[in-house]
Amino acid sequence: MDKTRRSPLARRPLAALTAAACTALLATACTGTNSGGGQDGSASGQDVTITFWHGWSQDNEVKAINDNVAAFEKLHPNIHVKVVGNIADDKAEQALRAGGPDAPDVVSSFSTDNVGKFCASHVWADLGPMLRKDGIDPAKTFPSAMLKYSQYQGNQCALPLLGDAYGLYYNKTAFAAAGITAPPKTFSEFAEDAAKLTVPDGDSYKQLGFMPNYHGYETAIAHYLGQYGSSYFGPDGKSNVATDPTVAAALTWQKQLVDRLGGFEKLEKYRTTFGDEFSSKNPFTTGQVAMSLDGEWRTASLAEDKPDFEWATAPFPVPDDQAAAYGRGYQTGTIVGVANGSKKQTAAWTFVKYLTTDTDAVVSFANAIHNVPSTLAALESPKLDADANFRTFVDIAKNPNSSTTPASINGGAYQVSLQNLSYEVESGRQTDLGAGLKATAEEIDAAVNQAK
Amino acid sequence: MALVNSTVPQALRRKRLRERARTLAFLSPWLVGFGFFFLYPLISTVYFSFMHYDGFTAPTFAGLQNWTYVFTDYPSFWTGMGNTLWLVVVMVSLRVVFGLGIGMLITKVKSGAGFFRTAFYLPYLAPPVAATMAFAFLLNPGTGPVNHLLGELGLPQPGWFTDPSWSKPALTMLAVWGIGDLMVIFMAALLDVPTEQYEAAELDGAGSFQRFRYVTLPNISPIVMFAVVTGVIQTMQYYTQAIVAGKVASGVIGGSGQQFEPGYPHGSTWTLPQMVYNLGFQRFDTGSACVVAVVLFALSMAFTSILLRRKSGFMNED
């Protein structure tokens, strides 16, 4: 058997080659996103083609956005838009990381959670200078909550492209049967009505007034906190969930409602009988719950599914000590931005400006896909869908007290931390609320520091 | 003579060089694959675990910050570690035991062996996402047929994927259901055991357990070791079934203000690979994601090394 071995000296060139190759590969993997430029010639009438990536996939949505693009191209014949639909956020992020000629110039996202990272890392261009150059005052153009979720620390790297507002859906037939004449306006009234509307059936329910559990589809802690106007972070950028009394109040109120309506275990078991949220088996549509917290899109679903009861919408109730703020709600929506690496930023901005600030474009798009418009002018437009149930959400979007979850450097991580605590509280696993909130705040701060 | 002395080694050296070049040429596809798909990612992962890198901007040196964060300030790490180790110990053990048991039963079946082989192998072919969704619907505490049947029989009805104390056992049931891969390799190993050894053992008065302990097990011990080692490595990478079960059972689609609960319910299905994805692609913290990936790699190596070192006391070395 040949026992000869290569000497360490003989292995050195190989080791050096491997190290060099690895270093080169690592270096190429670390390239940041390039800065683009604005001199694409579109302003002087040159033909420019930009690429627009969006996530809409349903036929009516795709038609609506394509109609919007066609209207834009008619107004700007020298700017051509190559539309790529059904793009998930992950894919768009990878494309923006990689850059290059095939990367999108304009990107939209259904989630507002990543705005902090997009702005801080400058992967989406700061639109502030472009807004100023075109004389657009964001504060006078967009509702305050929508403006808040599309910027991070003063960097307006995204703009709202339609929004979602959350309110109360209630079963009018069940209300009449229970002797309730009007939708509740405060949390006390709401709890009373939820209890009146609940019809137990052994260890389950014939009808539940309201599903308060945090996994009851849209009944997340952040959506409840929208009724309190909680801010999540203090002026110093640190989590204030332990010091803001509204957070503890919301968690306590929800837990009390859970206990009043039958307890966590019983409600969880009932929750598992619900059909898919975005289907005709939604528990409100089937009559399993008499009230629900949901977004404006449900008006279109209910009109299509035609449940066998009368229903209506109203703003979701507010805490008793904030009765004057009735009419507010949680808000989120779709955002759109310009890739910082785009070499066609002038054309891209012209397109984004049209999508987000042209009143007719915003209104027609909102009407087509049953979302809330995202400019103050569009919210007042007479061309907007006049359906009274939909108008409830338009009013919520207009309400200056409506609030949102702010952008953070590490996406929705702070919401996950708070949600995890909320699950522990509702199930009774965490009984020391103060300690839980303190630990959650520390966890959020540590994660934010880690991300900086 | 001097000429001969210098020529012969040169010729020998050239011959050896040619042999090495030929060997390298034959090995080159593997070497390239190993270098690009294993060595480079491995070195990169270790490198990035010491860097602050959000995936968009250039990385900067962070020292041990990522390591400190993951081990001390990221509470989900220890939850994920506990769940992953639970799955490694329980799931791998049960898969090996059931795979071997079913393999032994089917090798002894006199008629209909083909049917049983197919019946037990088919679940392995089901795509993990589809299989998990099917299990989540079957085990739905409110509407699933399993709990309905248990109720009819007067038995307790667990919450399965919605109950933190039942979610991992439910995932283990899913893994044991897809036992077809192990069943096939155990059957091949069992059929390879020399029948003379069983006959000799019987003549010596060995009972069925003794035949299994002193004949079957020593003969198939390399296959058992293979099943355990590959099972440990696969389970350390357990991701798809855990996240699909959690998502389906929670019913939450996720979005702004309504995040999907990692490891639903109550973190009980949260595993280390999910953490890598969460940190790297949802929190944009590539450095911390790489720390978890390095830990995963080290754990897999440690498990494998321990198992292989202990093989001498377990495996039949002949």
A106 phi and psi angles, rounded to 5 deg: -125, 135
- pLDDT for A410 equals 86
Contact A32 B58 (CB under 8 A): yes
> What mean pLDDT comes out for the span A368-377?
95
Average per-residue pLDDT in chain A? Answer: 90
pLDDT of B294 higher than 70:
yes
Which residues make Cβ contacts (< 8 Å) with residue A81, sequence separation at least 6? A49, A50, A51, A52, A69, A72, A73, A106, A351
- pLDDT for A241 equals 96
> What mean pLDDT comes out for the span B87-112?
93
Q: Which CATH class is domain A42-164+332-398?
A: alpha beta
Contact B35 A278 (CB under 8 A): no
- pLDDT for B111 equals 86
CA B147-B152-B157 angle, to 5 degrees, is 30
DSSP secondary structure string for all residues of A139-203: HHHS-HHHHHHT-BTTB---EEEEEEEEEEEEEHHHHHHTT--S---BHHHHHHHHHHH-EEETT
- Tell me how far apart the alpha carbons of residues A381 and A18 are, in angstroms, rounded to a whole number: 65
As a whole-number percent, the residues of chain B with pLDDT over 70 amount to: 94
> What mean pLDDT comes out for the span B135-164?
92
pLDDT of A147 higher than 50:
yes
| CATH no., domain B76-313 | 1.10.3720.10
Quote ipTM for the complex: 0.79
Angle (deg, nearest 10), helices A245-260 and A413-426: 40
Q: Which CATH class is domain A167-330+408-451?
A: alpha beta
* Higher pLDDT among residues A19 and B167, named by residue: B167
- Tell me how far apart the alpha carbons of residues A355 and A17 are, in angstroms, rounded to a whole number: 52
- pLDDT for A6 equals 45
Do the bridges between strand A159-171 and strand A199-201 make them parallel or antiparallel, or are there none, so unpaired?
unpaired
Domain locations in chain B? 76-313
Tell me, yes or no, if the two domains A42-164+332-398 and A167-330+408-451 fold the same way: yes
pLDDT bracket for residue A23 (50, 70, 90): very low
Chain B interface mutation, best of A30, A292, A417, highest count of B Cβ atoms under 10 Å: A30
Contacts of B283 in chain A (CB under 8 A): 410-411, 413, 447, 451
Residue of A122, A223, A277 lying closest to B251 (CB–CB): A277
Nearest CA in chain A to B32: A18
- pLDDT for A269 equals 92
Chain A: closest CA distance from residue B137 (Å): 10
Q: Which two tokens stand for residue B125?
A: 């072919």
pLDDT of A244 higher than 60:
yes
Contact A450 B73 (CB under 8 A): yes
> What mean pLDDT comes out for the span B77-82?
94
Contact A218 B142 (CB under 8 A): no
Contacts of A272 in chain B (CB under 8 A): 140-143, 162, 249
pLDDT bracket for residue A146 (50, 70, 90): very high
Segment A47-64, tens digit of pLDDT: 999 999 999 988 889 999
pLDDT bracket for residue A29 (50, 70, 90): very low
- pLDDT for B308 equals 84
Nearest CA in chain A to B31: A18
> What mean pLDDT comes out for the span A1-12?
43
pLDDT of B89 higher than 90:
yes
Segment B28-41, tens digit of pLDDT: 999 999 999 999 99
Segment A107-142, tens digit of pLDDT: 999 989 889 888 988 889 999 999 999 999 999 999
User: pTM for the full model?
Assistant: 0.85
Burial of A118: CB neighbours in 10 Å, binned 0-12, 13-18, 19+? buried
Q: How far is CA A76 from the centre of its chain?
A: 31
CB pairs under 8 A between A and B: 138
Residue of B44, B249, B266 lying closest to A423 (CB–CB): B266
Residue of B65, B162, B257 lying closest to A405 (CB–CB): B257
Contacts of A152 in chain B (CB under 8 A): none
**Which of A29-38, A286-295, B167-176, B182-191 is the least confident region?**
A29-38
pLDDT bracket for residue B316 (50, 70, 90): low
